[in-house]
Amino acid sequence: MDEAIKIKSGNFFSNIPRHIDDEIFDTILASDGCEIKRIISKGNQSPPDYWYDQERNEWVMVLKGSAALKFKNSKKIVGMMPGDYVLIPAHCKHRVEWTDPEVETIWLAVYY
């Protein structure tokens, strides 16, 4: 094996804290134009009247738990269970309505 090749491995479900007050954002990979994060929530939601307005596109999937997202220009709330994903275009204002208070919600987020 070429020693110049750096291999990084891990497990998305390891090192989950027992108590989660605020959402936890862990960067798994960052390179030019792309970032992959693990987000851990438990009973978290966006503050009232707060809307994310991101510079980049975000593709997000729930791997464990459940959650709901709301988009500013829509009355629809998108419920998410394991395996569900959403593509959020850059500057599409959105918020987390709720995450499961009983079990951790683990998200896979790709920003590009």
- pLDDT of 3 reads 64
- pLDDT of 75 reads 87
Query: Quick check: is 4 in a domain?
Result: no
Query: Quick check: is 80 in a domain?
Result: yes
Query: Quick check: is 17 in a domain?
Result: no
- pLDDT of 100 reads 97
* DSSP tally for the chain: helices H, then strands E: 0, 8
Q: What is the pLDDT of residues 13-44, one digit of tens each?
A: 999 998 899 999 999 999 999 999 999 999 99
pLDDT at 1 over 70: no
Q: CB-based contacts of 38: which residues, under 8 Å, 6+ apart?
A: 12, 24, 25, 26, 28, 106, 107, 108, 109
**Residue 71, φ and ψ in degrees, nearest 5:** -115, 135
- pLDDT of 2 reads 61
Alpha-carbon dihedral of residues 77, 58, 63, 67, nearest 10 degrees?
A: -20
Domain of residue 49: give its range: 24-111
Query: Quick check: is 7 in a domain?
Result: no
